[in-house]
Amino acid sequence: MPVERITYGRQFIDEDDIAEVVRVLRSDFITRGLVSEGFESGLAANTGASYAVVFNSGTSALHGAYFAAGMQQGDEFITSPTTFVATANAGMYLGARPLFADIEPDTGNIDVAKIEPLLTKKTKLLVPVAFAGHPVDNEGVFELARRYNLIVVEDACHALGARYRSKDTSHTGPATYTNVGASLHAHMSVLSFHPVKAITTGEGGAVLTNDKALYDKLRSFRQHGINKDMSKDGEPWLYEMQHQGYNYIMTDFQAALGLSQLGKLAGFIQKRRHIAKTYNEAFDDNPYFYTPPERDYAQSAWHLYFIRLKDGYKERKAQVIDRLRHAGVGVAVHYVPVYKHPFYREMGYVSGLCPVAEDFYQREISLPIYPSLSDTQVRDVIERVYAVMSEMAV
């Protein structure tokens, strides 16, 4: 019997979601309108942020956040090399230069201690990335930002639904958890709604903030720099373009999908946490690889379940992946350090810049995790992983 192929990540869309999209498609308005506004209110309410601005991708949302932060030609920003290229690319759109701070070896998140030595007079922004949905220790990042007058944009594209416990109880009271995106320790948090993310709109993204001035800039940047609130007596049609902007609008039928999905977010995260716990228990203390940690302060959204091969296996990672795929286990690798891509190499970034991120990349493999993965499939993945690894035992 052929083995069932288990993919590494996929969306979960049910008949309710489809009905909501169809309802909008049958209505008079299909691009931005009341449904998009409803999705924005829903995102703000769900995370605890004051404002949400939806975009047509996580990448355009990052572009908007960097613009709203005032980033321009010649500025520098500091981010993690262990991320999707979009995090760095969106700053390059504005003529700014990314600098890469090395990561923690186990979470894959930026190592806060590595940021300060990279600061220069040109630094404008700090961009921590919540890798795999595990919150960054953002209080440390925010404290640095306060001292050096910098803006923090959190790339939370993996982390909708994650929570963290603040060490600073003045905001949150004792031992309470805060949602990623509530922006207590970031000026803006950016989300993606790509199909493998916590919820999907096909393509889509959002910026969350508590700052009204940033909110206004994000909204006009999304629509050609146009301010629609200019109507005057006698000229109710008036709108003015105040600065250069883009068409980064999300359609209402995508927003309908997003809003419907948002109602399922808590269940999706619960399912992801259940799968991660099952993997963690099954793989505890195995001789082949390390399992992903969850810090005391964090409740991960478990966007990815990543393993890190131990010495003796990391050298044969290509073979491990090949054998896992052959055994029907869909896996992916996150991430080639951004500066190692040819485009960045040609700009002068050199290998060895972030040794921990390079080592992490050599070891990392992401296993299947998504809400519709059944307990039987999880058990199959565990069995097949053990079978492949024991064949390769050193």
Q: Which residues bind ligand PLP (CB under 6 A)?
A: 57-59, 83-84, 86-87, 129, 155, 157-158, 192, 194, 205
Q: How far is the CB of 158 from ligand PLP (least distance, A)?
A: 6
Shortest Cβ 185–ligand PLP spacing (Å) = 18
State both tokens at 66: 């960097």
The Cα angle at residue 168 between residues 162 and 170, in degrees rounded to 5: 110
Task: Write down the least CB distance from residue 339 to ligand PLP, Å.
Answer: 15
Phi, psi for 240 (deg, rounded to 5): -130, 140
77: left (phi over 0), alpha (psi -120 to 50) or beta: beta
CA 321-327-333 angle, to 5 degrees, is 25
125 φ/ψ angles, rounded to the nearest 5 degrees = -135, 150
Q: How many CA atoms lie within 13 A of 96 on its CB side?
A: 26
Distance between CA atoms of residues 54 and 205, nearest Å: 6
Compare residues 157 and 357 and give the one whose CB is closer to ligand PLP.
Answer: 157
Specify the residue, 61 or 329, whose C-beta has the smaller distance to ligand PLP: 61
Q: Could you tell me the smallest distance in angstroms from the CB atom of residue 311 to ligand PLP?
A: 28
- The DSSP code sequence of 44-61 is HHHHT-SEEEEESSHHHH
Residue of minimal CB distance from ligand PLP? Answer: 58
Query: Which 8-state DSSP code applies to residue 390?
Result: H
Q: Minimum distance between the CB of residue 189 and ligand PLP, rounded to whole angstroms?
A: 12
Tokens standing for residue 327: 């055994």
Smallest separation (angstroms) from ligand PLP to the CB of 129: 5
Q: What would the two tokens of residue 124 be?
A: 């404008």
Tally of helices (H runs) and strands (E runs) in the chain: 13, 15
If the CB atoms of residues 247 and 376 are measured against ligand PLP, the closer one turns out to be 247
Give the nearer residue to ligand PLP in terms of CB position, either 61 or 259: 61
Amino acid at 393: A
Q: How many CB atoms lie within 10 A of CB 105?
A: 15
Q: Which two tokens stand for residue 286?
A: 């195995």
CB of 81 to ligand PLP, least distance (A): 12
In the complex with ligand PLP, the residue whose CB is nearer, 24 or 156, is: 156
Q: Which is nearer to ligand PLP, 115 or 127 (CB)?
A: 127
Cβ-based nearer residue to ligand PLP, 8 or 313: 8
**Least Å from the CB of residue 293 to ligand PLP:** 19
**Which residue number, 163 or 303, has a Cβ lying nearer to ligand PLP?**
303
